[in-house]
Amino acid sequence: MDLRFSRFHPLVSFLYYIGAVALVITMLHPMFLLAGLAVILLVNYLHDQMQGLKRWKWLMVTTFVLLLLFNPLFNQRGRHLLFVLGDHRVTLESVLYGGMNALSIIAILALFVSYNIIMSPNKLLFLFSKFLPQFAVLLMLTLRFIPLMRRRVEEISLIQTSKGISITEGTWGRGSKLECCIFKPC
């Protein structure tokens, strides 16, 4: 869906995402993070009905759970004791701080999904070509290489599958059993 936001000048869009990331990183109040995440999710919904976020949902959920669980294990500070695991104190403050960090990281991931939809490589080249031309060319080549590499890996796996070579079984060095039987007697 073509939104007005995607038709803004690239500098305006770039500054919006820089400011949003800076606010999410620096403001660690739970209400601000929840409101900011809600706005970011709404923007992602308006861009592509959250299709980009669906690809990242498992990473986001596991990141949230891991930060929520691991922060109290490494941080014992806090006044309100929840329980004790052996010699380790688990406090309410450490659990809440882990949750705020998790919300912050999830909001940043959602911002970058939206950023990839709005800021195309051509807009980025336009933005940096006047001031940093070598950086702009290097950035363009790097951003172009990733989808090309992904397509090439898919092509290679299709060709190998059509030849009867399994890409999911076997070791890196020897390959699969099918490959051994095709090229030399078993």
Band of residue 176 on the pLDDT scale cut at 50, 70, 90: low
For residue 50, the 8-state DSSP code is T
**The pair of three-digit structure tokens given for residue 167, joined into one six-digit string:** 């890409």
- The pLDDT tens digits of the residues spanning 87-110 come to 888 888 888 888 899 999 999 999
User: Could you read off the pLDDT of 145-168 as tens digits, one per residue?
Assistant: 878 888 898 898 888 888 877 767
Structural contact between residues 110 and 44, judged by C-beta atoms closer than 8 angstroms? yes
**Any idea where the domains of the chain sit in the sequence?**
4-119, 122-186
24 phi, psi to nearest 5 deg: -65, -35
pLDDT in tens, 17-70: 999 999 999 988 889 999 999 999 998 898 888 888 888 889 899 989 998 888
